Amino acid sequence: MGDILETLKRYRAEGSRLVGCFPLYGPLELFHSFGLTPVVLWGLGDGRGYYPASDAHVQGYACSVARALTGFVIEHGTALFDALFMYNACDTLRNLPEILSRALDSRGGHIPMFRLHLPAIPLDRAHAARYLEERLRGLVKALEEFTGRSFSGDAFMASATLYERRRSLCRGVMDLRARGGIPSARAARIIELGNHVEVAEHIAGLEEVVGSCSGLPGDARGVRVMAGGIQAPPLELLDAMDSSNLVTVADDFATMARTHLASVSPRPDPHSYYTELYLHHPPCSTLLPSADARLGHLVSRAKASGARGFILFGEKFCEYEYFEAPQLLAAMEREGVRTLFLEIAPEDRENLAQHVTRIEAFAEMLQDGSTGG
C-alpha cells in the first residue's frame, strides 16, 4: 500500500501527469500516447488504510476494490492525479464517478474525469463497433483539449508497442511460474505491479525477472493447478499453494491472465486497435460479451495446461464473479478438474489461516488422487 503511494508520489515529483484509471481494461495506450501516465486503481493493498475515507460514501457491502479506490482517491487523489478515467464494468464502479467528484469537491479539490462507455455487446455487431468508434473519437478529442496536443498515430503506435511488449513479458512470467522458475506470489506481485508502475519501468522489471530465470528445466514437480479470481489473493495464500506442492500452471486472475493473455499487433488507429483488443479479449466476468466464451475458455485452458485442480478466489461481494462461479466450478468438475472455492476479502487477515488449511487439504486430496489414494 505504502509502495504504491510512494511510487505515484515519485512520478508526480518527476513531473509525470498521472491519470487514475478504473477498472482494469481501459485504453491505457491512448492516454500514454498523449504523454500521460495511466495507472490502474486496482489492488490498492488490503484497503484497510483507505476504508475510513470510503466509509462515508460507500456502503460496507461494496467490494474491497471499490472501497479501496474510493478511499485512495479521496485521500490522495488531488495531490496525485491530473485526471481520472472510468469505463462501465460493474454496477458499483459505475456509480463512483460522481461520488468521487462530490467527495473531492467537499475537500476543495477537483480532478477532471474522462468516461467511456465500452459496448457491452459483441463488437462484431455493426452498430456496436460504430458506437465504440464514436466514443473513442470523443475521448481523443477530450484528451487533445486536456493536453493541448494533437493525436498522433505514430505516438499511439509506439505506446501500443510498449503495452504489447509488457503483455508478452507478463506471459513470460506466467510461463516461468508454470515451470517452477518463480514462486506464485512473486509472479503475482511483479505482474500486478504493472497496475501502478509506469509501463517502461514495468517492462524493465519484467525483463530482469524473465532474463534471470532463463534456462530453467522444462517442468516443475508438483500437482498442477489453475487459480482464478478478480485479483490475486493475499500473497500468503499463494505461498501456501507453493508450499503445498501445488504448481500454478495457469491463472485466470483479472489482473494477470485476463489482462495479459490479450495480444494485439500495434497500429496507428486506436479504433481498429481497441476493437480487436476488446473483441478478442480473454473472457472476463466484467466484460459482458465475453461471458458466452468464458466457461469453455477456462476449461480448455485447464485441460491444456494439465491442471488437475482449480482454485477460485472469490472476491467478497463481487456478484459478477459469483453469478458464474457455480456453473464454472461444475464445468471444471465435469472435466475431471477438482475445485476449491474460497471467499476472500483482502482486508480480512483473521481468516487467512483457515484459507491456508483449506488449500493444504485441497493439495492433499489432489496428491492422494495422483497416487491412487
Partner 1 sequence: MVESPLAGKPKKSESAKRLSAMIAEDYMTLHQRASNGAFVVWIAIVVPAELFAGFDDVVYAVPESHAAMSAGKGVGALQCAKAEQAGYSADLCSYARIDIGTVLDGGRDSPSFGLPRPHLLVSNNNNCSLLVKWFDIYHRMWGTPHFVLDIPFCYEEQNGLNFSYIRDQFKDLISTIERLSGQRFREEKAAQAVSLSAEALKEWKRFIGLASHRPSPITAFDSFVHMAPILTSRGTRRLVEHYRMLADETESLEADGVYPVPGERYRLLWDNIAPWHQLRKMSSRLAGLGANITTASYTYCIGSLEGSIDAYPFDGTDPLAWLARLQNFSVCPQGLDLRLRAMQRAIERNGIDGVIFASNRSCKVYSVMQMDQMRHVRDTLGVPAIMIDVDHADERKYSEEAAFVRIEALLETIDARRSSGRPPTA
Nearer to partner 1, 91 or 207 (CB): 91
Gyration radius (Cα) of the chain, Å: 20
Nearer to partner 1, 194 or 314 (CB): 314
| In the complex, minimum distance from the CB of residue 54 to partner 1, in angstroms, rounded to a whole number | 10
Nearer to partner 1, 184 or 285 (CB): 285
Alpha-carbon gap, residue 141 to 137, rounded angstroms: 6
Binding site for partner 1 (CB under 8 A): 56-59, 61-62, 66, 88, 90-92, 94-99, 102-103, 115, 117, 119-121, 125, 127-128, 131, 134-135, 285, 288-289, 291-292, 295, 314, 316-317, 319-320, 322-327, 329-330, 343
Angle, helices 199-212/184-192, rounded to nearest 10 degrees: 160
Phi-psi region of 330 (alpha: psi -120 to 50; beta: other; left: phi over 0): alpha
| In the complex, minimum distance from the CB of residue 291 to partner 1, in angstroms, rounded to a whole number | 5
| In the complex, minimum distance from the CB of residue 19 to partner 1, in angstroms, rounded to a whole number | 18
**C-alpha cell of 226?**
489453475
Instruction: Name the DSSP class of 226.
Output: E
| In the complex, minimum distance from the CB of residue 120 to partner 1, in angstroms, rounded to a whole number | 4
User: How deeply is 296 buried, as exposed, middle or buried, from its count of CB atoms within 10 A (0-12, 13-18, 19+)?
Assistant: exposed
Cβ neighbours of 330 (radius 10 Å): 12
Instruction: Name the DSSP class of 50.
Output: G
**C-alpha cell of 2?**
505504502
Asked whether the beta carbons of 279 and 124 are under 8 A apart, the reply is: yes
| In the complex, minimum distance from the CB of residue 184 to partner 1, in angstroms, rounded to a whole number | 25
Nearer to partner 1, 169 or 299 (CB): 299
Nearer to partner 1, 118 or 220 (CB): 118
